[in-house]
């Protein structure tokens, strides 16, 4: 597989979400930063995906149980601070940042257009939460015929038991599941 057809997706690694993983936050950022460095050294496309909304969050309906809870939490809070991608990842002005409106990285975003414009056929997934953005993006990308790899130690979830179940049992049915170090050797 040609490396110029591979993209590393760094999903939901933003301050508003990392705050929900106080024990794991710094460790996951350091691991994913290592994966980003390796991807850049191999000239792979790195795409940062974040949950992003307009001022006032008009995209969120009361019918959406999960996101409406976000809307209530973010009232009066700084939306910009919530959406900020962790500086520990080494994001630059030139990096591609995709704003999504729901759980999957494809939902309400221009991700697929960016992937197609860059002839990307393989995705390497990292993100928070394994049971959220990683699972939803993997399922949608699988249905779109992307070749998929999940970096097991580049994902985290507030429910460690769920994370382990997904990494060990469910995700391997649709993707290669390997560690960042294994991927760095293979990529």
Q: Are 132 and 103 in contact (CB under 8 A)?
A: yes
Q: Which two tokens stand for residue 23?
A: 């024990």
Quick: pLDDT tens for 110-158.
999 999 999 999 999 999 999 999 999 999 999 999 999 999 999 999 9
Q: Give the residue, 2 or 105, on which the prediction is more confident.
A: 105
Find the range with the poorest average confidence among 12-21, 76-85, 154-163. Answer: 76-85
pLDDT of the residue at 65: 74
* Structure confidence at residue 171 as a pLDDT band (50, 70, 90): very high
- The tokens 């994913």 sit on which residue? 32
The CATH number given to 3-52+85-186 is 3.40.50.850
Question: 152: closest CA among 7, 40, 32, 68?
Answer: 32
Strand, coil or helix: what is 64? coil
Closest CA to 124 of 56, 171, 57: 171
Instruction: Write the CA distances from 13 to 36, 148, 165, integer angstroms.
Output: 12, 19, 21
| Average pLDDT of the residues of the chain | 90
Q: For residues 169 and 28, give the distance between their C-alpha atoms in angstroms, rounded to a whole number.
A: 21
Kindly report, residue by residue over 19-30, the tens digit of the pLDDT. Answer: 777 677 788 999
Task: Report, as an integer, the average pLDDT of 5-15.
Answer: 95
Domain ranges of the chain: 3-52+85-186
Q: In this prediction, what percent of the chain has a pLDDT beyond 90? A: 68
Helix (H) or strand (E) holding 181: helix 180-186
| pTM of the model as a whole | 0.91
């Amino acid at each position: 597989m040609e490396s110029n057809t591979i993209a590393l997706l760094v999903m939901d690694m933003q301050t508003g979400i990392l705050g929900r993983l106080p024990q794991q936050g710094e460790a996951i950022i350091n691991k994913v930063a290592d994966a980003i460095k390796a991807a850049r050294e191999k000239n792979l496309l790195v795409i940062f995906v974040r949950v992003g909304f307009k001022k006032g969050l008009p995209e969120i309906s009361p019918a959406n149980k999960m996101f409406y809870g976000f809307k209530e939490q973010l009232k009066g809070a700084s939306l910009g601070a919530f959406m900020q991608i962790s500086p520990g990842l080494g994001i630059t002005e030139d990096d591609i940042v995709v704003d999504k409106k729901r759980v999957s990285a494809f939902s309400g975003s221009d991700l697929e257009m960016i992937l197609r414009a860059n002839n990307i056929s393989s995705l390497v997934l990292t993100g928070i939460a394994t049971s959220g953005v990683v699972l939803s993006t993997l399922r949608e990308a699988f249905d779109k015929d992307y070749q998929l790899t999940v970096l097991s130690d580049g994902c985290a979830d507030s429910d460690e038991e769920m994370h382990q179940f997904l990494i060990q049992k469910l995700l391997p049915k649709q993707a290669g599941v390997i560690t960042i170090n294994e991927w760095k050797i293979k990529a």
